[in-house]
Structure 1
Amino acid sequence: MTFRDAAFFRNVFLSIAFPFALVVGLTGAIGFQSGLLPTRERGGPVPATISIPAGLLEYRESGEFFRNGLTVDAPMTKIHRQSLEIMKFQVSGESYDQCVAEGVCARRDLSGSSRADMPATGVSFDDAAAYARWLSNRTGEIWRLPKIEELAFAAGSKYPDDALGIDPDSKNPALRWLADYERETARKAFRISYPQPYGTFGENEHGLADFGGNIWEWTSTCLRRVTLDRYSKPISEAESCGIYIATGKHGAPLSSFIREPKGGGCSVGAPPDNVGFRLVRDPRWYTPLLFAISGRSM
């Protein structure tokens, strides 16, 4: 390579690298100035997490699915998931109430425990999102609510399959009503309604604790209503953000402001006993910008 060639490639590189660096720098500055990117405000313990290596995830999609005007089971989907770091336990009452004491989070409606080994309950999606922002600022890291597929990936064998097993070609709605009634009756028969200390419901194969106990967990996934064709392929879809999926023993769509699911909301079937949450630690610095662009909460 001649000197002229080397100079040409250097100039090309600089012409690309400098604008890119400038955009990154400006984006970061805007993010910090606007509060989208976290800044370490004060110290404090970092929550215990588990790391799950990349792998294959097969799960039933969330949402409400219709075919020929009747509700049907959501289809199974198979995707390859990137590695994931998520809190081992749900956010504790002590930690959430510390956020309240600092004037960032709203006070819980319920007189839940403030113990360090008890999950925070009586929190809405909006409360959980505020806590995620608070924790991000405290630690200088990015914490956010998991998407439904991330929580399914972390839950592994404990993730619920809400299918009723009714033939999608059946045009008899009574079959689905009967199956749904029998399932809801079974769900109500074996319940511990009050929150329990960490570890009460054990761990799954990844080390995730207490998933599927009596705490339903908020996700950042909006409710979808999907219409399928005769081959179970989607032909239309409507997303309702403001209603998010909480999941535990089963999935439950809830309005973002609901703190006590047994008192109302958009839950389907037997309402969740309690609603809490755990967070994902996201290594991508630009994650808050993605959420800001999409208009959703982290």
Structure 2
Amino acid sequence: MSGLFISYRREVDAGWAGRLAADLKRNLPDRPVFHDIASIEIGEDFGIAIERALGHCAVLLVVIGPGWLNVQHPHGGRRIDDEDDWVRLEILAGLKGNLRVVPVLMGGAAMPRVNQLPDALKPLVRRNAHEITDKRWDYDVGELVKALGRVSSGGKGDAEPPSQVGHPTIVAAPSPHIVVTKDLPAPGTVFRHGPDFPELVVVPAGRFLMGSPTTEKGRSDDEGPQHVVTIARPFAVGRYPVTFAEWDAFTVTSGTYHRPPDQGWSRGRQPIINVAWNDAQEYVTWLCEQCGQPYRLLSEAEWEYAARAGSRTRYPWGHAWGENNANFSNSESHWSGKQTSPVGSFGANAYGLHDMIGNVWEWVQDNWHDTYLGAPADGRAWEDGKGQRVLRGGSWFDGSIDCRVAGRHKDFPDFRNNDLGFRVCCAPSIS
């Protein structure tokens, strides 16, 4: 069962759905694409055809445009509230079955909030959405094609089962098969502990020179003195900053009452913003409770080691900031100085991590210290339990100087802003 089923509102989303179907058929010729009426023979029962098609599919793509939620029934009321509505029935069948259900946000649409959906469809908000924009259509569809290529097409037995405490489900890349293990997989492996949790990449052990040399352009005194740090064992790092979709899954379970505003920039695959260090602590605690794994924030040393990925230059890609390498104010990207960008919009570093530079400042575990004098040499967090906490990486709003690998920032643990997010780590704390 390898098919792809596209669910959409004919009244408002037919153009996007048709274009998406054509692109998927061209880019994934071995995966049948079911595009409702276009795939139903004349005179065939619509309901039977839908049920049969879903039975042959591995993925249900729910196309959501700006008007999707509020399309009205001819007799009044929203279609989505009608128990016989076909879009509703398609989504219900996907959620109850073993399909991978992927909301696809079109035309700047935001993911519906849980209180906007009928009770039966509320689990949809916990599914990680993929955004496709008109301006970046080819790139966004290309990223979707890559993701669909990683979804197993071997049948129900290959769908991701629910994660169990102590026995996380790990999806190893590039192979789409599922491996169940208690141990950390090999460096370079991409995995996650459940469909609503962040993707992780295993970073190898090693040594590096932390901080910046006195000759580095734009350097601040708080970036020194340079010192050697030894990371004794591999650790897993969030492939991307935590997204709104991942945070909203946290909210749905009542893990938190804080639903950060998205500034009108959409949710889904946008990085979470308007979160404090304290909020990030609540999230990693929730992850630990959900799957029994040692989630936490990165230490500042682990963050810089992961961001450098073996480099010793001002940026992971070299000494010059260049153009369109990341999202910061003078980086010449589509979002520079305007807003956050969907995670993964730029290439990964040598460890397979995206958005380490720019997009959002990332909270790390450490307390702020004005210099590295006395800093731990083993990668552990440098904490004294008081004062401000460290932020790394720069953001969409900041200039190239602040977005160097060695650049540092600080703020109070209860401070929230539209350029502050975080990334998770999954590894026992260094002791």
TM-score (norm 1): 0.57
Counterpart of 1:201 in structure 2 is: 346
**Residue 120, structure 1, aligned to residue 265, structure 2:** no
Query: Which structure is higher in RCO with an 8 Å CA cutoff and minimum separation 6?
Result: 1
Q: What are the equivalent positions in structure 2 for 1:1-298 lying under 5 Å apart? A: 44-45=194-195, 46-60=197-211, 74-81=224-231, 82-112=233-263, 115-156=267-308, 189=330, 191-225=336-370, 241-248=386-393, 249=403, 250-260=407-417, 274-282=419-427, 284=428, 287=429
Residues 69-98 of structure 1, C-alpha deviation per residue, up to 9 Å, x if partnerless?
A: xx6752101122132211101111011122
Counterpart of 2:72 in structure 1 is: none
Residue 199 of structure 1 deviates from its aligned partner by 1.6
Distance in 1 separating the partners of 2:343 and 2:223: 33
Amino acid at match of 1:156: R
Mapped contact 1:243–1:255 kept (Cα < 8 A): yes
Mapped contact 1:246–1:252 kept (Cα < 8 A): yes
Amino acid at match of 1:255: F
Mapped contact 2:201–2:352 kept (Cα < 8 A): yes
Residue 101 of structure 1 deviates from its aligned partner by 2.5
Which structure has the highest strand share of the two? Answer: 1
Query: Where does structure 1 differ by over 6 angstroms across 4 or more consecutive aligned residues?
Result: none
Residue 278 of structure 1 deviates from its aligned partner by 1.0
* Stretch deviating more after TM superposition (238-247 or 135-144): 238-247
Q: Percent identity?
A: 23
Residue 48 of structure 1 deviates from its aligned partner by 1.5
RMSD: 3.5
TM-score (norm 2): 0.40
Mapped contact 2:222–2:372 kept (Cα < 8 A): no
Which structure has the highest helix share of the two? Answer: 1
Q: Secondary structure at the match of 2:369?
A: strand
Amino acid at match of 1:252: H
Distance in 1 separating the partners of 2:390 and 2:307: 15
Counterpart of 1:176 in structure 2 is: none
Q: Secondary structure at the match of 1:47?
A: coil
Mapped contact 2:198–2:246 kept (Cα < 8 A): no
Residues 197/72 of structure 1: CA separation in 2 closer, same or farther (3 Å cut): closer
Residues 91-122 of structure 1, C-alpha deviation per residue, up to 9 Å, x if partnerless?
A: 11011122122222242442356644221111
Equivalenced residue count is: 196
Residue 59 of structure 1 deviates from its aligned partner by 1.2
Amino acid at match of 1:120: I
Residues 160/128 of structure 1: CA separation in 2 closer, same or farther (3 Å cut): farther
Q: Secondary structure at the match of 1:79?
A: strand
Amino acid at match of 1:196: S
